Amino acid sequence: MGEENEKKRIGLFGGTFDPVHKGHLSIAFQAAQEACLDQVLFIPAADPPHKKMPGASYWHRVAMLKAAFAELSVEQDRFVLSLLEAELPFPSYTVDTLLELKKRLLNPRCYFIIGADSLLDLHRWYQYQKLLCLTNFIVVSRPGVSLSAMQRAVKCLPGSFQSNTSNTSHQCWLRSDGAEILLLVNRLKEDISSTMIRAALQQGKVPQDVVPPVREYIAQEGLY
Ligand code: ATP
Ligand code: MG
């Protein structure tokens, strides 16, 4: 990555992806479209600090992301897989990942993509005070998380935010230094989560919320 990244708008999508599901693909696509992102980097967590052992190893989770990407149409060639966290110290703290990306990408405008459940947790992330100095955020709503809960979560972050809906179709919280948190209304009516997919697999069901190549990979490797 080099100078061609200058002033690009880059989505950073960190997650455990255990496994990657249609909800992840949908929100990445939605964020790319609605926030005019040139690229979305999927950054699987090598050693997620906030989760007990993932159900699948890092390299299986990476392989499932590759399988999912292989099925995407050409318009989604904006999706790129980043294996950065395999190179960084464990556990994989987002602040370290962002600091490293700052060195590697020349001055992009970054948007870290999270679901609303993660926004509620953000003030517990390691060195969370630094996060909004390193990236903006795109929050995608998730069933069960109310707008008022999200507003309270934003208040737990450093600095004071102004809520702004005037020049955009979506809600946006803006801090005086220019850091922004955009809120997108999830296009999916029903929640999809990796937890539900792992539970379905453990009951011997065929999960419908993963794309076929991922389903095939899980079966072939006997995961979960
Ligand atoms: P798990 O159930 O294991 O926590 P998950 O489905 O939440 O898995 P993660 O890998 O934890 O998937 O998610 C990565 C990011 O994507 C998180 O910020 C999460 O909030 C967000 N996310 C995942 N699924 C959805 C969804 N259906 N709608 C909105 N955000 C989502
Ligand atoms: Mg989750």
The CATH number that applies at residue 134 is 3.40.50.620
Q: Has residue 199 been placed in a domain?
A: no
Q: Has residue 157 been placed in a domain?
A: yes
d(CA 221, CA 117): 30
Q: Has residue 218 been placed in a domain?
A: no
pLDDT tens digits for range 163-184? 986 656 678 999 999 999 999 9
Q: Has residue 11 been placed in a domain?
A: yes
- DSSP-H helix ranges across 71-193: 84-87, 94-104, 116-121, 128-134, 147-155
User: What global pTM score does this model have?
Assistant: 0.96
C-beta of 19 in contact with ligand 1 (< 6 A): no
pLDDT tens digits for range 136-163? 999 999 999 999 999 999 999 999 999 9
**Domain count along the chain:** 1
pLDDT tens digits for range 68-80? 999 888 767 899 9
Mutate-to-test residue for ligand 1 from 193, 197, 214, 223, highest number of ligand atoms within 8 A of CB: 193
Name the amino acid, one letter, at 44. Answer: P
Q: Has residue 221 been placed in a domain?
A: no
Expressed as residue numbers, the domain containing 134 is: 2-193
pLDDT at 169: 67
Q: Has residue 209 been placed in a domain?
A: no
Nearest ligand atom owner, CA of 56: 1
Q: Has residue 145 been placed in a domain?
A: yes
DSSP 3-state of 224: coil
Q: Ligand 1, atom 25: nearest CA belongs to which residue?
A: 23
Q: Has residue 224 been placed in a domain?
A: no
**Residues 73-101: what's their mean pLDDT?**
94
Evaluate whether 99 touches 134 at the Cβ level (below 8 Å): yes
Region of poorest pLDDT, from 18-22, 52-56, 177-181, 186-190: 52-56
d(CA 114, CA 181): 10
Evaluate whether 76 touches 42 at the Cβ level (below 8 Å): no
